[in-house]
């Protein structure tokens, strides 16, 4: 049977009109399905890999959406955990918006339950540099953070049990030519008033801060800092919003907090991941499989299949000019040779300011 169609039929919608009543014809197919799309990043031994965004705004500060939208976006995008971090000190729409610093959290809470999203009570302490902007997570009353001194606000947050993140340390509005750890930050770090740093914010990466986090053993954080609508800012079809991966013992608020204070976090932005070497290595091992095909090529080289079951695109450097890009959910077949057995660099897994993961393939039978 040979295919040869010139004229082609597609008359669903119109047929439907005839087939049904004339009062009200429904076109549910015009509406996009309201579903959650999971992000395929594997769990690692002992831990669940939770996808988290710890920085976002609503109309209760300088954002443009109602709080429940942040939950709904997170659900659709496959996130597990979010914190709404409206500015304590910056509320340009105040003339039209009443409520207090806890309102956005309270308004989002019911939707978070319905969508099974872990919602962290939070707020953004917003100052000029130093110390700049800091997010206090896991608080119980944001109104009490509305005090004069930055350090006083942080200490109040700590009293509530907060995990505190220094936001966008290299933001040009506050550090136009530099990204410095100032004496006040050193002081806060010593006092335990900074527990993590955003190495990535919105579309900016601050490479120097990755070593800061890793050497001081505080959490590596990546966030969207979304004010707008995520789908208008990020390409959610082919990519994802910037986020933090948290490696937690269970999918609960308490476990997330424990994991963050234990520094088990990785920033995920574009096709890059930045964080502790051992975590990146586990993710890579859980994502990429290599095995013999049982066949060989014309040069008698054994052929191996390298498969990537994750949503992460890996770029593998074999040490010479040979680089291999492993697309999400795809596999390639390559001839065995020494390079497959030797050390490889994973160019997009950043283990330090100037460093990426060095590892080896684990061959499967």
Where in 90-129 is the site for a second copy (CB under 8 A)?
Answer: 93, 95-99, 103, 107, 110, 113-116
Q: Which is nearer to a second copy, 27 or 278 (CB)?
A: 27
DSSP state of 30: G
Answer yes or no whether residue 65 interacts with a second copy by CB under 8 A.
yes
The two tokens of residue 123 are: 């707020």
Min CB(309)–a second copy separation in Å: 8
Count Cβ atoms below 10 Å from residue 67 Cβ, excluding itself.
Answer: 24
Helix axes 103-115, 67-76, angle to 10 degrees: 30
Number of residues in contact with a second copy, rule: CB under 8 A? 119
Q: Which is nearer to a second copy, 240 or 264 (CB)?
A: 240
Give backbone dihedrals phi and psi of 72, rounded to 5 degrees, phi first: -65, -45
CB 293, CB 305: distance < 8 Å: yes
CA distance linking residue 246 with residue 47, whole number of Å: 9
Answer yes or no whether residue 272 interacts with a second copy by CB under 8 A.
yes
DSSP state of 258: H
- Identified binder of a second copy from the candidate list 30, 183, 215, 217, rule CB under 8 A: 30
Answer yes or no whether residue 235 interacts with a second copy by CB under 8 A.
yes
170-229: contacts with a second copy (CB under 8 A): 170-173, 175, 177-179, 201-208, 225, 227-229
Q: Which is nearer to a second copy, 261 or 318 (CB)?
A: 318
Q: Cα 58 to chain center, whole Å?
A: 19
CA distance linking residue 211 with residue 205, whole number of Å: 13
CA distance linking residue 136 with residue 223, whole number of Å: 14
Answer yes or no whether residue 348 interacts with a second copy by CB under 8 A.
yes
Min CB(355)–a second copy separation in Å: 11
Count Cβ atoms below 10 Å from residue 315 Cβ, excluding itself.
Answer: 16
297-336: contacts with a second copy (CB under 8 A): 297-298, 303, 305, 307, 309, 313, 315, 322-325, 327, 329-335
- Identified binder of a second copy from the candidate list 91, 160, 337, 353, rule CB under 8 A: 353
- Identified binder of a second copy from the candidate list 138, 234, 247, 284, rule CB under 8 A: 234
Look at the alpha carbons of 302, 345, 44, 82 in this order and tell me if their dihedral is positive or negative: negative
CA distance linking residue 14 with residue 61, whole number of Å: 46
Min CB(222)–a second copy separation in Å: 11
Min CB(358)–a second copy separation in Å: 15
Answer yes or no whether residue 17 interacts with a second copy by CB under 8 A.
yes
């Amino acid at each position: 049977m040979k295919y040869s169609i010139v004229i082609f039929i597609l008359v669903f919608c119109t047929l439907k009109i005839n087939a049904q009543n004339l009062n009200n014809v429904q076109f549910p197919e015009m509406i996009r399905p309201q579903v959650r799309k999971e992000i395929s990043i594997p769990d690692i031994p002992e831990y669940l890999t939770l996808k988290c965004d710890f920085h976002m705004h609503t109309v209760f500060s300088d954002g443009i959406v109602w709080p429940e939208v942040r939950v709904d976006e997170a659900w659709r995008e496959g996130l597990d955990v979010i914190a709404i971090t409206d500015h304590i000190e910056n509320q340009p729409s105040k003339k039209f918006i009443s409520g207090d610093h806890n309102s956005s959290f309270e308004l989002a809470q019911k939707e978070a339950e319905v969508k099974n999203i872990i919602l962290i009570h939070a707020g953004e302490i917003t100052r000029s540099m130093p110390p700049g902007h800091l997010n206090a997570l896991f608080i119980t009353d944001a109104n009490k953070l509305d005090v004069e001194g930055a350090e006083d606000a942080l200490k109040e947050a700590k009293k509530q049990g907060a995990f505190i993140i220094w936001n966008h340390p290299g933001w040009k509005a506050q550090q136009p030519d530099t990204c410095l750890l100032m004496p006040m930050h050193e002081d806060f770090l010593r006092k335990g008033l900074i527990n993590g740093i955003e190495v990535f914010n919105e579309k900016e990466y601050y490479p120097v801060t990755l070593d800061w986090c890793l050497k001081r053993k505080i959490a590596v954080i990546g966030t969207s800092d979304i004010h707008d609508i995520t789908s208008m800012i990020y390409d959610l079809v082919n990519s994802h919003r910037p986020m933090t991966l948290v490696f937690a013992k269970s999918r609960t608020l308490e476990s997330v907090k424990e994991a963050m204070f234990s520094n088990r976090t990785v920033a995920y932005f574009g096709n890059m991941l930045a964080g502790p070497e051992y975590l990146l290595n586990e993710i890579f091992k859980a994502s990429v499989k290599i095995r013999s095909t049982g066949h060989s090529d014309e040069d008698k080289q054994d052929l191996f299949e390298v498969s990537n079951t994750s949503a992460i695109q890996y770029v593998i450097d074999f040490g010479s000019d040979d680089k291999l890009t492993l697309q999400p959910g795809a596999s390639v077949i390559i001839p065995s040779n020494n390079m497959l057995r030797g050390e490889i660099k994973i160019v997009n897994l950043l283990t330090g300011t100037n460093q990426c993961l060095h590892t080896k393939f684990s061959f499967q039978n």
